[in-house]
Amino acid sequence: MARVIVVGSGVAGLLTAVRASRRHEVLLLTKGVLGDGSTRHAQGGVAVALAPSDSAVAHAADTLRAGAGLGDPAAVTVLCEEGPDAVAALTALGVAFDRDGDGLALGREAAHSTRRIVHAGGDSTGREIVRALTAAVRRGPVRVREHTALVDLVVVDGSVAGVRVRAPDGARVLMADAVVIATGGAGRLYPHTTNPPGATGDGTAAAYREGAELADLEFYQFHPTALAVPGTPLVSEAVRGEGAVLRDEHGERFMLGVHPDAELAPRDVVARGIARAMAAQGGRPVVLDATALGAELVAARFPGVTAICASAGFDLAREPVPVTPAAHYWMGGVRTDASGRTSIPGLLAVGECARTGVHGANRLASNSLLEGAVFAVRAAAALDEVEPARARTERAAGAIAAPLAAPSASASASATTDAPAPLREELQRVLWRHVGLERDAAGLEAALTRIDALAEAANDSPSTARALEDRNLLLLGRLIAEAALAREESRGAHHRTDHPAPDPAQARSRVVTRQEALA
Ligand code: FAD
Ligand code: SIN
């Protein structure tokens, strides 16, 4: 039995913790309350080949097509072949997916060749997954520490031996035989994002600082349809999957002229189509028109999106609603093998923070919850190989000086406010403008110069929750801009206006490590 620390409580962290706790002593740390993160906001559902007319091969083909030449066929095969078992594992833990007759109801989303999206509560899939998995964690034996933020990894003799955390009762070091980071994405790099406030890439940044390999950092996915109101909440792609269309301010369906699949073209194509239509109309949002779907279908299938629209004063079933692209999902992350192992022994990564190779340059809709579930099960199994290393960790414990100032009594582990402070606001502005949906060399160079100036001005021994997150955002923003500058072509979610075509010679992933950067 090994001592395992799992960091993060979205689908990846919760499921890894539950599965690992069957054989190991598991401590689950999370920045806010149990179950916070992007998972709980997920709407569309989980892509999985369940229909008799569907197959893992067809799902894999769609996934690789979306990945634009960078998906890893072996990882994609694992994802698609093991998807049904992962959905069964979620169901066994109490996730109540919507049913249609004898089987699960299957929705449709862009770039899938068939209906294969299982969902729950209509469009509240993430909430249902989190409800069931947090209940499973609460049943034990997993120990949980909420409001406890990973700050850095502890590496001893080249292997991970624990974590440095910031918690309400102080900064401390927690030792372990293995650490699984499941800290999600980094949507807060951008001012307009569907991600919650804690999405600041903490685990990815911590892994990089200790020398872990990261890959595919230039590929950030922008969801085409966030509601164009403050906070940019998501309007699920499944709404377009059921027949809603996009119109410009003249009422024209502009996507018909952009791609044969129109509104159901790959995400990057639709997002850029919308951005260009918005630019042509002075930056004003386009609209998503779901009025032809009928009020009954909209209410039954999209209660969550209907409520989101209603809270902003819009009636989804009866009027077109304003939409705009927003940062949504990071394909890049900590490079892992097919069982979540990173390049640092004892460190595993699962979920959005991991780069397993399944998404390539562009993630297919609803493949992320699936990835989180499939690779959580695999990572938990891989923990069986971990050798308890008490001597190593105890030696390390003696060697580690407490690096952080103790938090103030009022401090929480997460800077969970939506209002960005000036440094973060400026970083977000720079990334949106120069490292967003479209990039070019001059803009990326300007972004790097500005990010370096912001980093220079930032506190170099941060101790508040916000300053620690800002340190991570500055680091990751720089790494994305560097990777985007280095990739002199357009592919998937990475679009260079100065290199608008794909270049077959660059059809490979870029791997970066801190050692390489220092060399
Ligand atoms: P998350 O669910 O984001 O969880 C990360 C966890 O790590 C959180 O608990 C967070 O608090 C914790 N954490 C972060 N930093 C620290 C730290 N320093 N210390 C301790 N804990 C930390 N994908 C689909 O497949 N289907 C969908 O329908 C879908 N809809 C989406 C809708 C929205 C609005 C969003 C934002 C995303 C959607 N996605 C969807 C993407 C998908 O939800 C996410 O990629 C996925 O849920 C990520 O799961 P995760 O467990 O890796 O991370
Ligand atoms: C959505 O419901 O549009 C989000 C699906 C996803 O991000 O995979």
The answer to which of 33-47, 119-133, 391-405, 441-455 has the lowest mean pLDDT is 391-405
Q: Are residues 384 and 442 in the same domain?
A: no
Query: Rounded to two decimals, what is the model's pTM?
Result: 0.94
Domain range for 510 is: 402-518
235 CA closest ligand 2 atom index: 3
β-sheet bridge partners, residue 145 = 29
- The pLDDT assigned to 110 comes to 84
Query: Which 3 state secondary structure label does DSSP give 47?
Result: strand
Residue 340 in any domain: the answer is yes
Cβ-contact 323, 338 below 8 angstroms: no
Statement: residue 351 has pLDDT above 70: yes
Ligand 2 proximity of 44 Cβ (cutoff 6 Å) = yes
The CA 500 to ligand 2 mean position distance, Å, reads 26
Which backbone phi and psi does 436 adopt, to 5 degrees? -105, -135
| Cα–Cα distance for residue pair 372/10, rounded to 1 Å | 9
332 CA distance to ligand 2 middle (Å): 17
In the annotation, is 19 catalytic?
Answer: no
Pocket lined around ligand 1, Cβ cut-off 6 Å: 7-13, 29-32, 36-39, 41-46, 125-126, 149-150, 182-185, 194-195, 198, 202, 234, 329, 351-352, 366-369, 372
Decide: 366 in ligand 2 pocket, CB within 6 A: yes
pLDDT at 251: 97
Lowest mean pLDDT among 138-152, 327-341, 399-413: 399-413
Q: Residue 405 — very low, low, confident or very high, per pLDDT cuts 50/70/90? A: very low
Ligand nearest to the CA of 328: 1
Beta strands 103-104 and 99-100 are antiparallel
Q: Is residue 414 part of a domain?
A: yes
Among protein residues, the one whose CA lies closest to atom 41 of ligand 1: 368
Which of 317, 326, 259 lies closest to 289, judged by CA? 317
Indicate which CATH number applies to the domain containing 110: 3.50.50.60
Q: Which of 116, 127, 240, 267 is catalytic?
A: 267
Q: Which residues contact 371 (CB under 8 A, 6 or more apart)?
A: 79, 351, 354, 356, 358, 359
What CATH number does the domain containing 497 carry?
A: 1.20.58.100
From 295, 326, 357, the end of a domain falls on: 326
Residue 310, number of CB atoms within 10 A of its CB: 11
Same domain for 274 and 334? no
Q: Which ligand is nearest to the CA of 127?
A: 1
pLDDT at 459: 80
Among residues 246, 250, 242, 243, the alpha carbon closest in space to that of 224 is found at 246
Q: Report the alpha-carbon distance of residue 204 to residue 335 in Å, rounded.
A: 10
Q: How far is 475 from 453, CA to CA, in rounded Å? A: 12
DSSP state of 260: T
Distance 109 CA to ligand 1 centre (A): 19
Residues 150 and 274 occupy one common structural domain: no
CA of 319 to the centre of ligand 1 (A): 30
**Residue 208 is encoded by which pair of tokens?**
């990089």
Q: State pLDDT tens for residues 30-53.
A: 999 999 999 999 999 999 999 999
Give a three-class secondary structure readout of 112-131: CCCCCEECCCCCCHHHHHHH
C-beta neighbour count of 88 within 10 angstroms: 12
**Percent of the chain surpassing pLDDT 70:** 93
Q: Which residue's alpha carbon is at the smallest distance from atom 11 of ligand 1?
A: 31
Task: Average the pLDDT over 466-486 and give the result.
Answer: 97
Which protein residue's CA is at the shortest distance from atom 40 of ligand 1? Answer: 42
Ligand 1 atom at minimal distance to the Cα of residue 151: 18
204-261 per-position pLDDT tens digit: 999 999 999 999 999 999 999 999 999 999 999 999 999 999 999 999 999 999 999 9
Q: Is 238 in the pocket of ligand 2 (CB under 6 A)?
A: yes
CA of 267, nearest ligand number: 2
Same domain? 289 vs 410? no
Shortest-distance ligand to the CA of residue 125:
1
Q: Residue 109: which pLDDT band, with cuts at 50, 70 and 90?
A: confident
Could you tell me which of 342, 344, 410, 412 has the C-alpha nearest to residue 379? 342
What is the distance between the alpha carbons of residues 140 and 34, in angstroms, rounded to a whole number? 14
Residue 514 lies in a domain: yes
- The dihedral built from the CA positions of residue 260, 262, 268 and 272, taken in this order, carries a sign that is positive
Q: Which ligand is nearest to the CA of 148?
A: 1
Residues paired with residue 354 on neighbouring β-strands, in sequence order: 334
Q: Determine, yes or no, domain membership for 21.
A: yes
Residue 477 CA to ligand 1 centre (angstroms): 19
Determine, yes or no, domain membership for 211. Answer: no
Query: Tell me: the pLDDT tens digits for 257-303?
Result: 999 999 998 889 999 999 999 999 999 999 999 999 999 999 999 99
User: Is the same domain home to 421 and 500?
Assistant: yes
Please report the atom of ligand 1 found closest to the CA of residue 201. 15
Q: Would 28 be classed as within a structural domain?
A: yes
The total number of structural domains in the chain stands at 3
Same domain for 87 and 7?
yes
Q: Is the pLDDT of residue 404 over 60?
A: no
Q: Assess if residue 162 is contained within a domain.
A: yes
CA-221 nearest atom, ligand 2: 7
Domain shared by 36 and 150, yes or no: yes
Task: Specify whether 275 is located in the same domain as 132.
Answer: no
Query: Using CA positions, which residue lies closest to atom 38 of ligand 1?
Result: 42
Q: Are residues 29 and 158 in the same domain?
A: yes
Q: How confident is the prediction for the chain on average, in pLDDT?
A: 93
Identify whether residues 351 and 465 lie together within a single domain. no
Task: Give the model's confidence band at 406: pLDDT under 50 very low, under 70 low, under 90 confident, else very high.
Answer: very low
- 271, 294, 326: which is the final residue of a domain? 326
pLDDT of 168 over the 50 cut:
yes
Considering the domain architecture, whether residues 285 and 382 belong to the same structural domain is answered as no
State the pLDDT confidence band at 414, using cuts at 50, 70 and 90: low
123 lines ligand 2 (CB under 6 A): no
Q: Cβ atoms within 10 A of the Cβ of 103, count?
A: 12
Residue 196 in domain: no
CA distance 112 to 265: 10
Å from CA of 329 to ligand 2 middle: 9
365 lines ligand 2 (CB under 6 A): yes
Question: CA 224 to CA 241: how far, in whole Å?
Answer: 13
Supply the CATH number for residue 305's domain: 3.90.700.10
Atom from ligand 1 closest to the CA of residue 353: 52
Instruction: Write the burial class of residue 158 (CB in 10 Å: 0-12 exposed, 13-18 middle, 19+ buried).
Output: exposed
Q: Which atom of ligand 2 has the smallest separation from the CA of 369?
A: 8
Distance 169 CA to ligand 1 centre (A): 26
Boundary residue ending a domain (326, 359, 389): 326
- Based on the domain organization, do 439 and 470 belong to the same domain? yes
